[in-house]
Amino acid sequence: MKISPFAITIGIIYFINFISIVITIFVERKKPLTATVWIFILSLIPILGFLLYFVFGRNLRPNQKRIFRLKKEYDTVYNSWLIEEKYLLNNDDELFNDANIAEYKDIIEMNINSNRSIYSQDNEVSIFTNGKDKYEALLKDIENAKETINILYFIIKNDTIGRKMVDLLTKKAKQGVEVRVLYDHIGSFHTPSRMFDKLKKAGGKVTRFFPLSFGTYCSINYRNHRKIVVIDGSIGYVGGINIGDEYMGEAKGKYKKLRPWRDTHIRIVGTSVMFLQERFLMDWYYATKDETVNEDNRLKKFFHNRGGKGKIGVQIVASGPDLTGEQIKMGYIKMINSAKDRVYLQTPYFIPDDSFLEALKISAMSGVDVRMMLPLTPDKNFVYHATTSYIQDLLDYGIKVYLYKGFLHSKMVAVDGRIVSLGTANLDIRSFSLDFEINAFIYDTEFAEKCISIFEDDMKKSEIVTMEKYKARGTWNKTKEGFSRLFSPLL
């Protein structure tokens, strides 16, 4: 009996899918829910499913794991140098500037143990709730830079604010300032490399993180979502605001609907800037293999800021696929578990894993006032439907849910008016385990209460979600939510 070429092809495809399923279960040892979804996809849609798995589903390839091990070796270059600085920090006998923070010392200790996140309390921290104010301050600091400007963004757009920043960086490079720009290739996929030609010609250094090519297709799933700026080793920026007109509510095209755009970013002056600098240099060294940044004189230029004039306690916490564990998520959960009065959360994307969702439920059942704020206007429909599918899980436990009338891109967790975490990590599985992220954990009553006030002001610009309103959202919306939630572990 002659077997047709079509039958042979189908047989090969099913065999490959079977091998992929075996790898998913026994080799890559994915989390059970993620593995189940991939098995479902591979079984239901063999050809498309295999292609999706080939690009998005696999864990890091052996050579990428080797690169990450090499990156840890790079990390030790900075850690060995910084160890002499650590005597300034984490002194058990040292009194907290803010006496209210003493009862949350276990959070500080956990971040030190999980992420080598040194605690310093000599920082000044300013907060921005829109792109315009952040860019105004940032451009002024760049203009005043004397020695070094180090910039890392997930997105740098070729638009008005993007070109303005690059022009200014070019000017500073011509003045002899060392300028480094690192950006994520996927996040800035539509940004032409020629945008940086003038900067490079002026002596600035520009590179992409995980540039896409045929040989690096797997890295599409692991992106550098961090936003870090360090100027002269003494001024640092971190938060949710990338470089693009939409962050000021001024973008055209598909981003025009995302108005008003609410975001959060912070400016830090103090010892904690050293650790933003450290993380930038780790990523820069990893992306470029630039040996010159290891020179002793260069390191001292990067890390010459020893102590600040402020009084705010800060820890810089990083997480990503190059690190063991999910450090920022663990920090979030520890904060939520430590709450005695209030937990306020803002995020554009809420796709939690079981541990994070259970922490919120337990906190609410313990009498803590838990409030979640999400955007009313979505930027990514599929992700948004997955996000809204979790609202009933929150409402069932008495957690208040607010939908901000516009697009909310802020990433904030505030506890008891004492502690706040602000940075780049969303409250979703991707930020927890796949993307390179960075957050500042801030310990100060005055600053935390300011963040609570900002949240409460945002509540006035939001719709509260009632169970009646949520259940009346319509069959079609429920169907989209169910479908999106099913595949949310892959987002």
Indicate whether 331 and 284 sit together in one domain.
no
List Cβ neighbours of 325 (8 Å cut-off, separation of 6 or more). Answer: 114, 319
Peptide bond connecting 5 to the previous residue in cis, omega within 30 degrees of 0 = no
Q: Identify which has the larger pLDDT, 290 or 69.
A: 290
* Domain edge (last residue) among 310, 344, 369: 310
Q: Is 232 a catalytic residue?
A: yes
Indicate whether 161 and 13 sit together in one domain.
no
Asked whether residue 324 carries a pLDDT value surpassing 80, the answer given is no
Asked whether residue 216 carries a pLDDT value surpassing 90, the answer given is no
Evaluated on CA atoms 230, 233, 236, 238, the torsion sign reads positive
Indicate whether 238 and 384 sit together in one domain.
no
Asked whether residue 89 carries a pLDDT value surpassing 60, the answer given is no
Q: Establish if 315 belongs to a structural domain.
A: no
List Cβ neighbours of 337 (8 Å cut-off, separation of 6 or more). Answer: 359, 362, 363
Choice among 271-275, 304-308, 331-335 with the minimum mean pLDDT: 304-308
The DSSP line for 366-417 is TT-EEEEEEESS-SSHHHHHHHHTTHHHHHTTT-EEEEESSEE---EEEETT
| Active-site option among 232, 263, 444, 458 | 232
Q: Which residues pair with 123 in a beta bridge?
A: 312
Could you report how far apart the first and last alpha carbons of the chain are, in Å? 45
Give the model's pLDDT for residue 117: 85
Spatial separation of the C-alpha atoms in residues 204 and 301, rounded to whole Å: 17
Give the model's pLDDT for residue 298: 56
Q: Identify which has the larger pLDDT, 102 or 344.
A: 344
Neighbours of 164 (CB within 10 A): 13
Which tokens hold the place of 212? 């896409």
Choice among 227-236, 242-251, 412-421 with the minimum mean pLDDT: 242-251
Spatial separation of the C-alpha atoms in residues 171 and 162, rounded to whole Å: 14
* Domain edge (last residue) among 254, 285, 310: 310
Indicate whether 393 and 299 sit together in one domain.
no
Best-predicted range by mean pLDDT (34-43, 167-176, 290-299, 470-479) = 167-176
| Active-site option among 30, 205, 411, 480 | 411
Indicate whether 87 and 9 sit together in one domain.
no
Arithmetic mean of pLDDT, 292-298: 59
CB-based contacts of 173-176 (< 8 A; 24+ apart in sequence):
173/199, 173/202, 173/203, 173/204, 174/202, 174/203
Q: Establish if 467 belongs to a structural domain.
A: yes
**pLDDT band, very low/low/confident/very high, at 294 (cuts 50, 70, 90):** low
* Domain edge (last residue) among 283, 310, 337: 310
Asked whether residue 472 carries a pLDDT value surpassing 80, the answer given is yes
Indicate whether 300 and 371 sit together in one domain.
no
| Active-site option among 157, 227, 329, 334 | 227
Count of residues for the chain? Answer: 491
Give the model's pLDDT for residue 263: 98
Considering its fold, how many domains does the chain have in total? 3
**pLDDT band, very low/low/confident/very high, at 206 (cuts 50, 70, 90):** very high
Indicate whether 45 and 173 sit together in one domain.
no
**pLDDT band, very low/low/confident/very high, at 221 (cuts 50, 70, 90):** confident
Q: Establish if 321 belongs to a structural domain.
A: no
Asked whether residue 336 carries a pLDDT value surpassing 80, the answer given is yes
Indicate whether 79 and 18 sit together in one domain.
no
Give the model's pLDDT for residue 54: 60
Give the model's pLDDT for residue 62: 46
Q: Percent of the chain at pLDDT above 70?
A: 75
| Active-site option among 75, 184, 322, 416 | 416
Q: Establish if 253 belongs to a structural domain.
A: yes
Choice among 44-53, 73-82, 165-174, 285-294 with the minimum mean pLDDT: 73-82
Q: Is 409 a catalytic residue?
A: yes
Q: Identify which has the larger pLDDT, 419 or 81.
A: 419
Asked whether residue 334 carries a pLDDT value surpassing 70, the answer given is yes
Arithmetic mean of pLDDT, 55-84: 54
**pLDDT band, very low/low/confident/very high, at 18 (cuts 50, 70, 90):** low
**Does the pTM of the predicted model rise above 0.85?**
yes
Which tokens hold the place of 94? 């040292």
- What digits encode the pLDDT tens for the residues 362-378? 999 999 999 999 999 99
Q: Is 411 a catalytic residue?
A: yes
Give the model's pLDDT for residue 326: 92
Residue with tokens 């203009």: 143
Give the model's pLDDT for residue 477: 85
Give the model's pLDDT for residue 350: 97
Choice among 16-20, 128-132, 159-163, 213-217 with the minimum mean pLDDT: 213-217
How does DSSP classify residue 156? B
Asked whether residue 26 carries a pLDDT value surpassing 60, the answer given is no
Spatial separation of the C-alpha atoms in residues 362 and 352, rounded to whole Å: 15
Arithmetic mean of pLDDT, 352-364: 96
Q: Is 304 a catalytic residue?
A: no
List Cβ neighbours of 239 (8 Å cut-off, separation of 6 or more). Answer: 128, 134, 227, 263, 264, 265, 266, 411, 422, 423, 424
Q: Establish if 231 belongs to a structural domain.
A: yes
CATH classification at residue 337: 3.30.870.10
Asked whether residue 70 carries a pLDDT value surpassing 60, the answer given is no
Mean pLDDT estimate for the chain: 85
| Active-site option among 30, 157, 225, 265 | 225
Arithmetic mean of pLDDT, 389-394: 96
Best-predicted range by mean pLDDT (47-61, 273-287, 476-490) = 273-287
Q: Establish if 97 belongs to a structural domain.
A: no
- What digits encode the pLDDT tens for the residues 434-467? 899 999 999 999 999 999 999 999 999 999 999 9
Phi-psi region of 83 (alpha: psi -120 to 50; beta: other; left: phi over 0): alpha
Indicate whether 302 and 195 sit together in one domain.
yes
| Active-site option among 361, 385, 409, 480 | 409
Q: Determine the structural domain holding residue 176 and report its residue range.
A: 63-91+123-310
Spatial separation of the C-alpha atoms in residues 200 and 469, rounded to whole Å: 54
Asked whether residue 56 carries a pLDDT value surpassing 70, the answer given is no
Give the model's pLDDT for residue 213: 65
Indicate whether 405 and 458 sit together in one domain.
yes
Spatial separation of the C-alpha atoms in residues 101 and 99, rounded to whole Å: 5
Give the model's pLDDT for residue 84: 46
